[in-house]
Each structure stands twice: as C-alpha cells, then as structure tokens.
Amino acid sequence: MKINALMIDEIDNVVTCVEEVSKGSDVFYRKGDEILSLKAEENIPYCHKIALKDFAKGDEVIKYGEMLGKTLEPISKGHWVYDKNIYSVPRDYDSEMIDLTGGKR
Amino acid sequence: MQFWGYKRSEGRAGIRNHVLILPTCVCGSETARIVASQVKGAVNIVFNTGCSDVQANTDMSQKVLTGFACNPNVFGVVIIGLGCETVGHKPLREKMRKMTSKPVVSFGIQEEGGTLKTIEKAVRAAREMAADAALQQKELFDISNLLLGIECGGSDATSGLASNPAVGELSDLLVDIGASTIMSESIEWIGGEHVLAKRAATPEIHNQIIQVCKNYEEHLKAAGQDCRAGQPTPGNKAGGLSTLDEKSLGCIRKGGTRPIVEVLEQAERPTKTGAIVMDTAGFDISSVTSMVAGGCNAVIFTTGRGTPTGNAIAPVLKVTANSRTYKMMEDNMDVDLSAIITGEKTYKQMGRELLDVIHDVCNGKLTKAEAYGFSDIAVNHVCRFV
C-alpha cells in the first residue's frame, strides 16, 4: 500500500495528506516502522490535515509534536482539520523566559 | 569548500560584481532604472520611500540604502537623488564613503536640470565603473566568507514537511564548514518560538528570541491589530496551513538545528559567524530586503504556492517540494524538492544536493529570477507615512 499522508512526530494527532483523498477512501501513513491507516470520512484536499482521533471542542491539535491550536468544535476521527475548525491560542511569552539568575521563572 | 568570488577591501567576498544604481528616494527610481538599462553590469533598485517620513522610518530607509551599498556583491554605487528628499544624495554618499572604500558617486535631478541631463552624467559614471568592475578577476575564497539568507514565501504544507527541513539541513552543512546563515521573519516564529529558542547558544539569546516575538505582538496590538488576522495568508490556508502556529512550526525548520549565535535587528550586519536570526517582517520581499541590506550574498527561498521574486543585488534561489507548483511554474522555480514528499529521497539527501546548487550560484550560476533581472524590494516601516 502506498503512503498518502505524513506523520511528523509520533505524538501528533493529525497527519498531512500529500494526495487528494476522497470520502470513503483509506489514508496510509508511517508511524515509526509501522504503516497505519484510517478511513477518510470526508474529502481531504491536497496538503490538508485529517484527524486521527475524535476531538472534543477545545482539544489541542498536535503536529510536529507541538500544539497548532485548539478545536472550535468537535471533530471526529477521519474528518478534515483546517482553518475553519481550529484556532491559534495566544502565547504566554513571560512564562517562556529563562530566569537569567538561574532556573525557570 | 571554496568558491570563486570578488575580493572586497572590507568584509566578506562578493559572489557578484554589480554596479548598483541606487535612488535616494522614490523620485529617483525611474531615472535609476533608465541608467541601469544603459549599462551592462549595472543593476537598479526601485525605492518606494525616502520622503515625508518620520525619523524612525528615515533611519530604516538609510540603513537599507547604506546596507545595499556595503553588500559585498556590489562593486560600486551610482546614487540618483532628487534634491528635496529627507536625506539627499550628497549626505548619503558621504555616509557610504565612511562605511566602504568602494567607489560611490552621486547626482541630483534638480541640480542637473532634469532627468535627461542626470541620465547622461550617471550613465557615463556607471559605464566607467562597469568597465573597471569587468577587469576585476575572481579569486578563490573559503566558504566561510559566505553569508546565506534563508527565506520562505507562499508557503503551503509541503514547506514545513519538506523544503524547509531540506534547507535547514543545508544551513547545518554550511555552518559546519564555517559559513553563516540568517533566518528571518520573526512573526513566523510565533507559536514555534519556544522550539526555536531551544537552539539559542546562550540563555540571553533564548530570551532575546522570545522577546522579539512578544514585542512584535505588542507593537501590532498597540495599533489595534492582531498578527493572527493576517497570518496565515489566504494562500497558506488553502495550502493546508491552518494557524500561525502551524505555519511557524514549519517555517523555523528552514533555519536548521545548529546553535543560534546572534539575534539581529532588521537590515543589521552580523558580528558573529554561524547560525544567525534576524527580526524582520514575515512579508517575504521586505525580509529579503533586510537580509540583503545586512550583507547576504545569496538567498535560498522555499515556496509551496510559487513565487517569481528576485533581488537585484543577491541571487534568490527558489525551491519547492510541491510537485504541482514546480511543474506549473518551472520557469520561476530553480529546484524541485518533491522527491522528499514522495519518499524517494530524504530531506537530508536533498539538503546535501542543495549545497552543490548553492556552491554553483556562488561561482556565478544565475538563478532564474536573476537571469530575468528581477529587482523586488520593500522597506519595512516602523510608523505610517506622514
């Protein structure tokens, strides 16, 4: 079976489809040495993300092993994750600063 | 690794030997264009500012103009002024002469009695400079003389997945052999700034990186604006980048993994060697302008959606991992990295291949935008025009 989606970090909960995927077809991606698959529940455009799990409203979406944003509404496994159903969370810069006198602030 | 370049009495070696026709302000831009079109070896900048400006913007314009003149790819400079702009051709010329020993001459359109008379004198001066430039022989330089700018624009999901990691690998390879790279576009660190900051060589640099992002957001907030309204762009979203964070996490991969040794302001010249970052706009043309003013010899530019952009002073090499974009815009794309997406090659392999391509560009190979003579610039503004 041919890979048609990419997982970047093993903790990611979305993968990026590198081909157009039509509703009902299978998405294959590599996770470590394994090849995993899931069924697309809607059409996923080229370069767009598909949900690997059921998301509740406000859940974190993870790609690159990092949070991309949170969900604006529940998104079920196999559905399209895109700019209309997730949002960017404002940063807390002060908490990221290193206390230069030692230790994290 | 060595390359054939042009020796400059100060700073790094040039990989081009341009005579730069440089306007002091927007009103000199057309005359500069005509002068450059008359002289082989001359390039011109279209400047969009330089008049009716607040001090902070004037400072930025002057930093960019003097930075262009000092760029090692420039042999000499012919300045075209008007006469009533904020900083005229004579003070700009004197400023440049203090910064560089390369030839700098200047003319003012109002003093000379119009554009035709200015063009006549400026073409003669540029012709003589180009004749001298043509006599300069190339010499072998160690790759440590190279300063490469790293840019992305018109990104889509392939940028973060493939072309940016490949360029990151190129950056690591260059830094390991003594060269320097600059990654800019600080607004596109936001959401990934905590990841980028882990590469800081010192805790101070770590905090500088976070502070740059904090300041950027606060600057926009002070004007009642939200960076997340303009980023990602509509093209980014159509290309699968849903949030600024997703774009940033992909963007920062183009800077590689080596320790960040310096954080520069826009258009500032580095003082360190290695992996450097610069605080610039995410607007690609403005960011490239700043890096070239900071002294970059060449710029590698990753794109997903495709862009024709080029810079008059530094060759811009455009690479994409989107096979459709490469096919659709092959006349504007220099390198196809889509083998990373299909799994035929790794990003590390393609990063190594890019090193050879950049080496060729250093030795004189024209990038596509360079062959077309493209000259895009945009000077960032601190405040609104007055």
Reported as a single tens digit per residue, the pLDDT across B65-79 is 999 999 999 999 999
Distance from CA of A54 to the nearest CA of B (A): 18
**B245 and A66: CB-CB below 8 Å?**
yes
- Please check whether residues B179 and B305 belong to one and the same domain: yes
B104 sits in which H/E element: strand B104-108
Which residues make Cβ contacts (< 8 Å) with residue B48, sequence separation at least 6? Answer: B26, B29, B377, B378, B379
Q: What is the pTM of this model?
A: 0.95
- Please check whether residues B119 and B254 belong to one and the same domain: no
What's the rounded mean pLDDT across residues B122-132? 98
CB < 8 Å to A88, chain B: 191, 228, 243-245
What is the amino acid identity at position B9? S
- Please check whether residues B275 and B164 belong to one and the same domain: yes
Last residue of a domain, one of B84, B119, B135: B135
The pLDDT value given to residue A2 = 86
The pLDDT value given to residue B386 = 66
Take residue A68 and report the two structure tokens written for it: 């991309």
On whether residue B83 sits in a domain, the answer given is yes
CB < 8 Å to B154, chain A: none
On whether residue A27 sits in a domain, the answer given is yes
CB < 8 Å to B216, chain A: none
CB < 8 Å to A49, chain B: 157, 240, 242
What total number of domains does chain B contain? Answer: 2
**B237 and A47: CB-CB below 8 Å?**
no
Per DSSP, B292 falls in state H
The pLDDT value given to residue A103 = 56
What is the amino acid identity at position A64? Y
Take residue B119 and report the two structure tokens written for it: 């063009």
Any A CB within 8 A of B214 CB: yes
Q: For B210, which of A48, A87, A93 is closest by C-beta distance?
A: A93
Q: Is the pLDDT of residue A10 over 60?
A: yes
- Please check whether residues B118 and B220 belong to one and the same domain: no
On whether residue A9 sits in a domain, the answer given is yes
The pLDDT value given to residue B83 = 97
- Please check whether residues B89 and B167 belong to one and the same domain: no
Confidence category of residue A102, pLDDT binned at 50, 70, 90: low
Say if residues B155 and B303 touch (Cβ distance below 8 Å).
yes
- Please check whether residues B62 and B123 belong to one and the same domain: yes
Q: What is d(CA B300, CA B365) in angstroms, rounded to the nearest whole number?
A: 14
Q: How many CA atoms lie within 13 A of B251 on its CB side?
A: 32
On whether residue A77 sits in a domain, the answer given is yes
Q: What is d(CA A49, CA A67) in angstroms, rounded to the nearest whole number?
A: 14
* Residues spanned by the domain of A15: 5-91
Q: Is the pLDDT of residue B16 over 60?
A: yes
**A66 and B158: CB-CB below 8 Å?**
no
Q: What is d(CA A18, CA B91) in angstroms, rounded to the nearest whole number?
A: 55
**A86 and B243: CB-CB below 8 Å?**
yes
CB < 8 Å to B191, chain A: 66, 68, 88, 91
Q: Is the pLDDT of residue B144 over 70?
A: yes
| pLDDT tens readout for residues B100-117 | 999 999 999 999 999 999
Flag the least confident range among A50-54, B10-14, B264-268, B360-364. Answer: B10-14
- Please check whether residues B44 and B181 belong to one and the same domain: no
What total number of domains does chain A contain? Answer: 1
On whether residue B233 sits in a domain, the answer given is yes
Residues paired with residue B152 on neighbouring β-strands, in sequence order: B302
On whether residue B26 sits in a domain, the answer given is yes
- Please check whether residues B89 and B165 belong to one and the same domain: no
On whether residue B381 sits in a domain, the answer given is no
The pLDDT value given to residue B343 = 87
Confidence category of residue B153, pLDDT binned at 50, 70, 90: very high
CB < 8 Å to B240, chain A: 16, 45-49, 82
Task: Tell me the DSSP string of chain A.
Answer: ----EE--STT-SEEEESS-B-TT-EEEEEETTEEEEEE-SS-B-TT-EEESSPBPTTPEEEETTEEEEEESS-B-TTSEE-TTTEEPPPP-HHHHSB-TTSSB-
CB < 8 Å to B157, chain A: 16, 47-49
On whether residue B221 sits in a domain, the answer given is yes
On whether residue A103 sits in a domain, the answer given is no
Mean pLDDT computed over every residue of chain B: 96
CATH code, domain with B114: 3.40.50
Say if residues B289 and B280 touch (Cβ distance below 8 Å).
no
**A68 and B213: CB-CB below 8 Å?**
no
Say if residues B119 and B3 touch (Cβ distance below 8 Å).
no
CATH code, domain with A55: 2.30.130.110
On whether residue B286 sits in a domain, the answer given is yes
Cα Rg for chain A, rounded, in angstroms? 16
On whether residue B6 sits in a domain, the answer given is no
Q: Is the pLDDT of residue A105 over 60?
A: no
Q: Which residues of A touch B (CB under 8 A)?
A: 3, 6, 8, 16, 18, 45-49, 63-64, 66-69, 81-83, 86-89, 91, 93-94, 96-98, 100
Confidence category of residue B316, pLDDT binned at 50, 70, 90: very high
On whether residue A104 sits in a domain, the answer given is no
Any A CB within 8 A of B243 CB: yes
* Residues spanned by the domain of B23: 18-135
On whether residue B376 sits in a domain, the answer given is no
On whether residue A101 sits in a domain, the answer given is no
On whether residue A12 sits in a domain, the answer given is yes
First to last CA, chain B: 49
Confidence category of residue A40, pLDDT binned at 50, 70, 90: very high
Which residues make Cβ contacts (< 8 Å) with residue B49, sequence separation at least 6? Answer: B25, B26, B57, B61, B379, B381
ipTM (interface pTM): 0.95
Say if residues B5 and B146 touch (Cβ distance below 8 Å).
no
- Please check whether residues B170 and B305 belong to one and the same domain: yes
Say if residues B301 and B329 touch (Cβ distance below 8 Å).
no
Contacts across the A-B interface (CB distance below 8 Å): 93
In chain A, how long is the greatest CA-to-CA distance?
57
| pLDDT tens readout for residues B293-306 | 999 999 999 999 99
On whether residue A22 sits in a domain, the answer given is yes
- Please check whether residues B147 and B79 belong to one and the same domain: no
